[in-house]
Amino acid sequence: MKRIGIIGAMALEIELLKNNININTSKNIAGFDFFLGDIDNKDVIITRCGEGKVNAASCTQILIDRFGVDSIINTGIAGGLHESVKICDVVISSNVTHHDVRKAQMENCFPYRECFQADEKLIEFAVEACESHHSENWNYHIGRIVSGESFIQDIEIKKNLLRDYSPHCVEMEGSAIGHVAHINNIPFVVIRSISDNADDEATISYNAFETIAANKSAEIVLSMLQML
């Protein structure tokens, strides 16, 4: 893997990574800041796409078109959905999909897929990284990640997502990154640490754990870079 693109939605999700990259140059394209450099002798580009799927898709396409990345890792935080997923656990994407687009539309319109598969090799590296960091205080999971244009903080919506998609967690960017990576034939994986349970107390939990969870996800990505 020659050049690795790393995307976080918010500044706090890439702060630890930026602190560890030897930045050679930075560029601003279409309002997105791209930091080019190296980590552990790996050619890396780190960027913050902002919240939401449109921002994430736009930023991902720029990474591919303008910077020629060979693989993409999305890092950040998410709301836990599956009953086995706890606060500060890590979810590695097996696949990603949009929860706010009908399945029939996904299957019948380009690119004719209900979900987008994460790269098996990147998943293996993520698992190895999690194993190297693992402790009694948190666990890691491999499963579906769903994305939509809203912060989920309603127990009824959570139940519906579990019923319809059987996901491990929910956020706002991963499926768009996976979608764009797929149509460009670029390997990707989404790494998310859980900040809340996507329920009626989500906002309180999010405020308490967002930085802890963001840093945990970034630590996993840093370990992955040592292995790639």
Known catalytic membership, residue 196: yes
Residue type at 95 in one-letter notation: N
Residue with tokens 């990154």: 177
Q: Which residues contact 39 (CB under 8 A, 6 or more apart)?
A: 17, 20, 21, 22, 222, 225
User: Of the residues 13, 119, 173, 219, which is catalytic?
Assistant: 13
CA 148, CA 158: separation in Å to the nearest integer? 12
Distances (CA, A) of 163 to 32, 129, 220: 36, 31, 30
Please tell me whether residue 9 adopts helix, strand or coil conformation.
Answer: coil
Residue type at 113 in one-letter notation: R
DSSP secondary structure letter of residue 138: B
CA 122, CA 147: separation in Å to the nearest integer? 20
Known catalytic membership, residue 33: no
DSSP secondary structure letter of residue 119: P
Residues classed as catalytic: 13, 196
